[in-house]
Structure 1
Amino acid sequence: MLEYRQNRLGLEPLKSNKIATSSENFDSLEFRRVQCRGFFDEKKSIYVGPRSRSISGVTENGYYLITPLLPSPDDPNSLQTPILVNRGWVPRSWRDKALKVSKDDELSSVASTPAQESAKSSWWRFWSKKPIIVEEHSPAINSVEVLGVVRGSEKPSIFVPANDPGTSQWFYIDVPAIARTCGLPENTLYIEDINDNVNLSNPYPVPKDANTLIRSSVMPQDHLNYTLTWYSLSAAVTFMAIKRLKPKKSWR
């Protein structure tokens, strides 16, 4: 398995705009590198965690930041369909700030009712002698280049709580569920960013490195090591128990 992943990561990166949107095709592309160009829809970011990260021996809790990457208009090199990008690890403060902004936006949208806006508009049209010119300022779109690796959903253990999208609680990566929450199809492509060009002035998010991707949380060799260790301990304990319980011979 380790060699298989290394070989896959060593292949030439694919262009995202040439990948067909098929879940079966995505399964066959796992651990292939993909080069994408588009812009991030920051307001639909998902925070998965908490996930710990050790820095100089100090462990800090944070989250994985997953954001939809959308096609850039008028860019021939842009991806053709949206994808999900795990941009890497961010501190807990990022999620706290995002939740606060989301809550403030909801409160402000409730406060400004359509009736108030309509009354204000009617009053202004009545008293103003100048024509009203409404200028629409569309936000600037900053296209980004992303080099990522195709991955799938995580398989949580029995100790991991269930995700709760309604309260923005994501404990593990469930690609179809995250895609639905972001308003995307369930078969949306999911990649993990592996760019090494980290801006020291703005180091977050911290992408995964290739070695972390190659080694899963528990590799087959680790399973073998655990098995040998437990069998050795069991044999040692059994031998000691038999030796202790065995009646001693009495010499007369």
Structure 2
Amino acid sequence: MANCKTGVMIGTMLLRRSLHTSPRISRYLRQNEILRGNKESSLAKYAFLTIPVTTLGLGLWQISRLKWKESLIEELQTKTNLPTVNLPEELFELNDLEYRRVQVRGHFDHSREMYLGPRSFLKGGDSISTGGLMSAGAGGKSGYYVITPFILSDRNLEILVNRGWVSQDQKNPATRKQGQVTQEIVLEGIVRHSEPRPTFVPKYQSGNTWSYRNLSEMSTVMGTSPVYLDACVDSDVPGGPIGGQTRITMRNEHLSYILTWLGISAGSSVLWWKQFVK
């Protein structure tokens, strides 16, 4: 039995040697290796080509996103500068009036004051950044928006008004008694709707401080109608919160994305040309 196995092994070795030493068979094997190499090279060529093609598509897509973002910012700035209108009798009309200025007459109910934040201080519709997480407003302190029910004089209606920004150490209304006006006033504000809950921000549980603007829940807790206005800076009260806290600018980094993706596309295209074409 051992001799039989040894014979098989020797026969196999001789067969392999004869195949490689035969000119015709050797040429056939070399051709197969070349074809296999060409096939692998072709696959690598087209696989690598997906990089410049994909990044080119992303760059072109970011161009359209840049145009969309610039158009949206321009639209917001236009809306906030349109003439002031009265608060409509039918509240459903507010669905089409976000970022429009409206005028109301009435007085605040400071006993139900609540807060939205922490928030950065806005000036001219944009935050004043110091390069950190806090605002540069009021010495770079963190702050809150003061949200107060506003009782209208000309109808049986209560709404919510973001009176403006206060620093952390002025969150307590006892520190700003002068600004807690109780008389009837005419107020101009910008219509705002609810904002989506940011990622990782917990839902509202209880208390008088909110992390994000949820108009439905806020109005339910406060017992008001679901109407929310950002008080304009013209409606500031001496000693009170700083109004004009409506953000009309947006983060716009699409140009840097365009340059990044098109740069990658151009660089990888040159490498592809040198490797597979030139």
Bin the TM-score by the shorter chain. Answer: 0.5 to 0.7
Please point out which of 197, 205, 208 is paired with 1:168.
208
Aligned length: 183
- Alignment pair present for 1:34 and 2:102: yes
RMSD: 3.2
Greater Rg over alpha carbons, structure? 2
Residue by residue, what CA displacement relative to the aligned partner does 1:53-107 show, whole Å, maximum 9, x if unpaired? 33479411110111111023xxxxx455211111110122343x359xxxxxxxx
Please point out which of 140, 143, 147 is paired with 1:59.
140
Runs of 4+ in 1 over 4 A off after TM superposition: 232-239
Structure-2 change in CA distance of 1:56 and 1:85 (3 Å): closer
Task: Kindly state the Cα deviation for residue 15 of structure 1 after the two structures are TM-superposed.
Answer: 1.3
Return the TM-score normalized by structure 1. 0.61
Q: Please state which structure has a larger fraction of its residues in helix.
A: 2
Whole-angstrom CA distance in 1 between matches of 2:193 and 2:98: 7
Q: Secondary structure at the match of 1:36?
A: strand
Instruction: Provide the residue aligned with 1:83 in structure 2.
Output: 159
Task: Kindly state the Cα deviation for residue 198 of structure 1 after the two structures are TM-superposed.
Answer: 4.3
Whole-angstrom CA distance in 2 between matches of 1:57 and 1:38: 29
Q: Unpaired segments of 5 or more residues in structure 1?
A: 73-77, 100-139, 247-252
Instruction: Provide the residue aligned with 1:190 in structure 2.
Output: 228
- Alignment pair present for 1:228 and 2:264: no
Structure-2 change in CA distance of 1:195 and 1:9 (3 Å): same
Does the CA contact (< 8 Å) of 1:148 and 1:193 recur in 2? yes
Task: Kindly state the Cα deviation for residue 179 of structure 1 after the two structures are TM-superposed.
Answer: 0.3
Task: Kindly state the Cα deviation for residue 44 of structure 1 after the two structures are TM-superposed.
Answer: 1.2
Please point out which of 111, 123, 127 is paired with 1:43.
111
Structure-2 change in CA distance of 1:26 and 1:181 (3 Å): same
Does the CA contact (< 8 Å) of 1:146 and 1:195 recur in 2? no
Instruction: Provide the residue aligned with 1:214 in structure 2.
Output: 248
> Partner amino acid for 1:41?
D
Residue by residue, what CA displacement relative to the aligned partner does 1:196-215 show, whole Å, maximum 9, x if unpaired? 3645x51x301126xx5322
Q: Unpaired segments of 5 or more residues in structure 2?
A: 1-71, 122-134, 175-180
> Partner amino acid for 2:232?
I
Task: Kindly state the Cα deviation for residue 160 of structure 1 after the two structures are TM-superposed.
Answer: 2.6
Residue by residue, what CA displacement relative to the aligned partner does 1:172-201 show, whole Å, maximum 9, x if unpaired? 11111110110124xx211111133645x5
